[in-house]
Structure 1
Amino acid sequence: MEHFPIVQALCRAAMAEPTPALRKQIERLHDALTKDGEKQQAATLAKILSAADRLKDVAPSRIERSRVNLAGEAIGRSTQVPVDRETSASLAEIIFPDDFHATAPLFNATVTQATESIVDEWRNLEALSTVDIIPSKTCLIYGEPGTGKTRLALWIAHELQLPVVLVRLDGLVSSFLGTTARNIGNLFTFANRYRCILLLDEFDAIAKVRDDPQEVGEIKRVVNTLLQNLDGRQRIGLTIGITNHPNLLDPAVWRRFEIQLEIPKPDFEVRKAIAQHFMPPVIAPDSHIRLISWFTEGSTGAEIEALVRTYKKATTVREEDRRGLLETLQQFATLNAARIQRERRTLLFADPGKLFKAMRNDEALNFTMADIGEIAGKDKSSVSRLLQKQAIEEDVSDG
């Protein structure tokens, strides 16, 4: 076969992570070569297939590596979660890895590397155990709403192929004396029985400062119960806490978490990546993506996603109702005034010359006059005249 060395390399690369369909095609190629009398080439493919079989026998899969040292039973679809004794309401929700499609959250390089290190620890339990090290078993994720905290926790679970026992702690609080503490105990007993990730959402709902004079003695007992159960849970499985209000957490709660990961608001490049991620199937010009990123300075990923939805709607309606990008941004800023920085909103509704100057001078945007003209629906000469007019007005004002 001509170019067989290339085919051989492709087959070897494919069998590094084979699927049944890939293996079937390589077997078909092996049989065809044998039939054509290409015995040496067929033997080479046979060796590649055999090597893949041996590797499969001796090397555990990612899922097996992630679970090798996890004690406990497997959670099934029929597994019953604990309920509140007084109301019979479920205290948790079980989410299985196959129930959601989790893509890696979009963060800056530093945060991305840190989150991947959490997964890598759990994927390499056996290697770590040889040096008497265990992965970090408690992780507190905090940051403003919409920054991707819950999505990150679900992505970790998906990567490790572990079910999530999702608990919204504000739902555990009961008006019955002693019931809240009992609910917490029952939940941790359940999580300690099964192989899972215990995800404690709205963590600040219970883990409040015990010295707060506004809190009654009951909530202080609840926090103590939570701390005791976190201590016990540390020896068994992975626990993730999520909060939008880290300032409300008791200092003793912070000490229970080996990892304390702050999710920041996205920078310019990350905002671009988020806008690009949510844009399909609409194909937006790069200048539009950059302006959306610039306009959403200080915004969260969820707010950028909302703006992209507005943009997609504006570009797919009837031609006579279609709005330009600047009009779309103005509409979004009007309907979401508290979510957009005041400086950006002011520029957006200011004299066009002032807006164009800000866009032209921003190093991150790196706009040409042609870019500005395309966005504003004007030619380059019109943009140039407006910029000149703005410069003259500023000179007069300064003089």
Structure 2
Amino acid sequence: MEHFAIVHAICRLALAQPTDALVFQVKRLADALLEGGNEEDASALRAVLLLSERSAEMTPRRLVPARGIAVSGEALLPNTILPADKETGARLLDVIFPSETAKALPIFSDAHRRAAEQLVAEWSNAERLREVGVSPTMSCLILGAPGTGKTTLAYWLAHQLGLPVVLARIDAMMSSFLGTSARNITQVFNFANRFKCILVLDEFDSIAKMRDDPNEAGEIKRVVNALLQNLDTRKPIGITIAVTNHPKLLDSAVWRRFEVQVQVPLPDFTTRCEIVRRYATPCEYSEPEILTMAALLDGCSGAEVEDFVRAYKKRFILDPVPTSPIEAMRDVIVINDGRVSNEVKAKFLTDDAHLAVWLKNNDELSLGVVEIASLIGKSKSAVSRLMNTKF
């Protein structure tokens, strides 16, 4: 390559302060040189890249000022070395940077949405709170049924603050070797305490079980004790969010370590309507269709509502096209049997006459005969006759 010595010098100087984009482009250049048969120049560039990576690992990372956010520490970089289990070599955590975390808050009730925004406001105004002698919330336990948006909420909170998530890998932390699980927990907390991040402990009940559970071996006591000690140490340092589907399994001492405990409920009718609307796009469904799907999914989680809506959209794309929205919903119910309650399923899978009466008498729906007719795919007069049938 002509003038490669100049290019090599430019790359070496630029990589003294590397960025992801710069490293990517230098790698592209090295690959292009190699493909062109210039192995010597390609090797020289790869040597510069390797030297830059080693320098980044050896050089202490700069401390990031708080700027109103409740945590401080070293900047967490994509090439930061992550802790691993000493016996198996399994990585103990994953790092999820803000560009990869949830940008949209799950659809919650107004009260739960305001609670999430309150946490962000506390963390973003930490200095103002400390001026009046109070501290922002540093630990949050999120609990609720599977599929209610708990983990997505944790990621959204991190995204709002522009902080990476340090996600503990519970499966890797728990070891069959005596004492190793407690050591792994300490490794994860030490890492999170060093960097500017939010520590997320998903499936928290796996490491925070009741110590008096007769079904658990003595090792769980050591694990929970190590967890409690590390939670106490971390409290003034950084934000910790734990997520669990099984709050009843948690040790009683664990609850006291969390300043905020957010119970994420199953979505109510209004919230289910909003979830249907969000995931119906780009398809356009009538308001009676949206209301009816929300009604038949009573007792479902937000994730289950989302799955049902996706299946409903696919049903209309397939051949043959259903003759009515109710026919499509019935087809989707059959392949989503576990998501729909037996009571609602019995109403939808019965004859049109019984279903029409149920739709008419459902106070949440408030549907008229014309709207019910559009759902069932019959004329207004035919539906009126069905509803007047003596059962």
Normalised by the size of structure 1, how large is the TM-score? 0.80
CA distance in 2, matches of 1:328, 1:66: 51
- What is the CA-CA distance between 1:335 and the residue it aligns to? 2.2
Q: How many residues align?
A: 327
- What is the CA-CA distance between 1:344 and the residue it aligns to? 0.5
- What is the CA-CA distance between 1:323 and the residue it aligns to? 5.5
CA distance in 2, matches of 1:168, 1:283: 40
Matches within 5 A, 1:62-73: 65-67=67-69, 70-73=71-74
- What is the CA-CA distance between 1:113 and the residue it aligns to? 1.1
* Alignment correspondent of 2:382: 382
CA distance in 1, matches of 2:307, 2:183: 40
* Alignment correspondent of 1:371: 371
CA distance in 2, matches of 1:332, 1:254: 41
- What is the CA-CA distance between 1:64 and the residue it aligns to? 6.5
Q: Are the aligned partners of 2:76 and 2:164 in contact in 1 as well (CA < 8 Å)? A: yes
* Alignment correspondent of 1:3: none
| Structure 1 pair 323–155 and aligned structure 2 pair: CA distance change class (3 A) | farther
Question: Does 2:77 match 1:76?
Answer: yes
Backbone CA RMSD of aligned residues = 1.4
Which whole-Å deviations, capped at 9, do the CAs of 1:284-307 have from their partners, x for residues lacking one? 111111111011000001001001
CA distance in 2, matches of 1:171, 1:311: 38
Letter in 2 for 1:381: S
CA distance in 2, matches of 1:223, 1:314: 48
Question: Does 2:359 match 1:359?
Answer: yes
CA distance in 1, matches of 2:116, 2:199: 17
Matches within 5 A, 1:115-264: 115-264=116-265
Unaligned runs of 5+ residues in structure 1 are 1-62, 394-399
| Structure 1 pair 186–64 and aligned structure 2 pair: CA distance change class (3 A) | closer
| Structure 1 pair 64–287 and aligned structure 2 pair: CA distance change class (3 A) | farther
Which whole-Å deviations, capped at 9, do the CAs of 1:344-368 have from their partners, x for residues lacking one? 0010112221111111111211111
Q: What secondary structure does 1:80 align onto?
A: coil
* Alignment correspondent of 1:350: 350
Q: Are the aligned partners of 1:207 and 1:226 in contact in 2 as well (CA < 8 Å)? A: yes
* Alignment correspondent of 1:109: 110
- What is the CA-CA distance between 1:66 and the residue it aligns to? 4.3
* Alignment correspondent of 2:336: 336
- What is the CA-CA distance between 1:336 and the residue it aligns to? 2.4
| Structure 1 pair 193–64 and aligned structure 2 pair: CA distance change class (3 A) | closer
Q: Percent identity?
A: 46
Q: Are the aligned partners of 2:268 and 2:298 in contact in 1 as well (CA < 8 Å)? A: yes
CA distance in 1, matches of 2:313, 2:155: 27
- What is the CA-CA distance between 1:327 and the residue it aligns to? 2.4
CA distance in 2, matches of 1:311, 1:336: 11
Question: Does 2:304 match 1:292?
Answer: no
Q: What secondary structure does 1:235 align onto?
A: coil
Q: Are the aligned partners of 1:311 and 1:325 in contact in 2 as well (CA < 8 Å)? A: no
- What is the CA-CA distance between 1:316 and the residue it aligns to? 2.3
* Alignment correspondent of 1:30: none
Q: Are the aligned partners of 2:323 and 2:377 in contact in 1 as well (CA < 8 Å)? A: no
Q: Are the aligned partners of 2:101 and 2:156 in contact in 1 as well (CA < 8 Å)? A: no
CA distance in 2, matches of 1:252, 1:92: 24
Matches within 5 A, 1:245-324: 245-318=246-319, 320-322=320-322, 324=324
Which whole-Å deviations, capped at 9, do the CAs of 1:32-68 have from their partners, x for residues lacking one? xxxxxxxxxxxxxxxxxxxxxxxxxxxxxxx96443x
- What is the CA-CA distance between 1:188 and the residue it aligns to? 0.3
CA distance in 2, matches of 1:158, 1:66: 15
Q: What secondary structure does 1:113 align onto?
A: helix
| Structure 1 pair 101–70 and aligned structure 2 pair: CA distance change class (3 A) | closer
CA distance in 2, matches of 1:376, 1:343: 19
Unaligned runs of 5+ residues in structure 2 are 1-64
- What is the CA-CA distance between 1:271 and the residue it aligns to? 0.2
CA distance in 2, matches of 1:64, 1:86: 37
Q: Are the aligned partners of 1:66 and 1:160 in contact in 2 as well (CA < 8 Å)? A: no
Q: What secondary structure does 2:270 align onto?
A: helix
Q: What secondary structure does 1:299 align onto?
A: coil
CA distance in 1, matches of 2:66, 2:361: 54
CA distance in 2, matches of 1:272, 1:299: 12
- What is the CA-CA distance between 1:101 and the residue it aligns to? 4.4
- What is the CA-CA distance between 1:247 and the residue it aligns to? 0.4
CA distance in 1, matches of 2:359, 2:313: 22
Which whole-Å deviations, capped at 9, do the CAs of 1:183-205 have from their partners, x for residues lacking one? 00000000000010000000001
Which whole-Å deviations, capped at 9, do the CAs of 1:95-116 have from their partners, x for residues lacking one? 0001234202111111111111
Q: Are the aligned partners of 1:356 and 1:372 in contact in 2 as well (CA < 8 Å)? A: yes
Which whole-Å deviations, capped at 9, do the CAs of 1:217-248 have from their partners, x for residues lacking one? 11111110001000111110100000000000
* Alignment correspondent of 2:39: none
